[in-house]
Amino acid sequence: MMIQIGHRESHDIDIFLDDPQLLGFIDPSRSPLHFETMPSDYLGDGLRFQKFAFEGIGEIDFIVAGALTTAPFENRVVEGRTVHLETIPEIIAKKIYYRGSEANPRDIFDIAAAARSQLGEVVNALRALPEQVARTRERMKKLNPEFVGRAIAQLMIMPDYEASAADSLDAALAVLDEVLSSPQRT
């Protein structure tokens, strides 16, 4: 998301796989991997994810999760290579679907930031997930707004998004309310 809208600095990369068998090829305990820079730590469950942490650099997470939207990615050139880069609606749909009931302040800020530039597209994508949206909304309503605000203030927010950061919880809830108040389009 950082690449698409430049809302905050991020030091991790999520790579989504649609086949859990692929994790076996990147599990250091089962496959001889060769790294240019060795990870300082790694963790995985062999079924849903594999995480590599690189001290002072960031993390790479391989996550088994299929596409949730009709247009999940676009081709973009990143560091000289053409890659499938997930669309903003796909990223937000995955946050809601997989982590919504445990949404954290960073997720809340991401939802609010996504709505600034792609509200209609995000709402349309989330209409297909009413149960998950309702659970996410319920979770967010239980959070202490002061805690959320303080946690969001600790993020490395880019200048264009600093002014709206304090209203992220209200903005994210407004997105979810719009999804739940409007019928799903087919």
Alpha-carbon gap, residue 148 to 134, rounded angstroms: 19
Look up tokens 């954290």; give the residue: 104
Q: Per-domain residue ranges for the chain?
A: 87-181
Asked whether 117 and 5 are in contact (CB, 8 A), the reply is yes
Alpha-carbon gap, residue 75 to 85, rounded angstroms: 6
Look up tokens 């319920």; give the residue: 138
Q: What is the pLDDT along the chain (186 residues), one digit of tens a residue?
A: 887 888 998 888 899 999 999 998 988 878 888 888 889 999 998 889 999 999 999 999 999 999 999 999 999 998 999 999 999 999 999 999 998 999 999 999 999 999 999 999 999 999 999 999 999 999 999 999 999 999 999 999 999 999 989 999 999 999 999 999 976 655
